[in-house]
Structure 1
Amino acid sequence: MVVLPQYVMVVLKGSVPMAFGGTQEPAAYGELVSIGGLNLDVNKKLSAAIASILESKLSVPKSRFYLKFYDSKVHE
């Protein structure tokens, strides 16, 4: 999978009250939308990379985030 930076958009909202697993410890929720290219293997790799960033940069443990994947079909 090739990721073209000119087509990547990231929106972060900090300080949003969030309960995850019954606690309010640091947590994250994300939605990843792609026009084609997502599958189980790609999703696993993306999840691992995002988990690493969340943990190292935002102190969100790998067990306290949820990603929702959307694969939009290409319409020609």
Structure 2
Amino acid sequence: MVVLPQYVMIVLKGSVPMAFGGTQEPAAYGKLVSIGGLDPDVNKKLSAGIASILESKLYVPESRFYLKFSDSKRSDFGWNGSTF
């Protein structure tokens, strides 16, 4: 998978009240949307990389977050007055 930085967008919302597994310890939920390129092997690698970042930078243990992967068609995304 080739990642073109000019097409990567990240939104972080801190201080959102969240309960995970019955506690309010640090936790996270993420949604990763791609225009093609996702498959089980890629998702596993992305999950491991994101888990490492969440744990080292935001102190969220890998056991306290869910990550949802969605693969979309190019025509499902509008940009610059058109679609991809």
The alignment's TM-score, normalised by the length of structure 2, stands at: 0.87
Match of 1:32 in 2: 32
Match of 1:47 in 2: 47
The aligned runs of 1:1-76 (5 Å cut-off) are 1-75=1-75
Structure 2, gaps ≥5 residues long: 76-83
What is the DSSP-based 3-state SS (H/G/I as helix, E as strand, rest coil) of the residue aligned with 1:67? strand
Residue identity in the other structure for 1:32 = L
Give the distance between the partners of 2:74 and 2:14, measured in 1 at CA: 32
Residue identity in the other structure for 1:12 = L
Structure 1, gaps ≥5 residues long: none
**Larger-Rg structure:** 2
Identity rate of aligned residues, in percent?
Answer: 86
Give the distance between the partners of 2:51 and 2:16, measured in 1 at CA: 19
Residue identity in the other structure for 1:62 = E
The alignment's TM-score, normalised by the length of structure 1, stands at: 0.96
What is the DSSP-based 3-state SS (H/G/I as helix, E as strand, rest coil) of the residue aligned with 1:66? strand
Please list the CA deviations of residues 8-42 of structure 1 after superposition, one character each: whole Å capped at 9, or x if unmatched. 00000000000011111000000000010000000
Give the distance between the partners of 1:61 and 1:19, measured in 2 at CA: 14
Give the distance between the partners of 1:62 and 1:28, measured in 2 at CA: 9
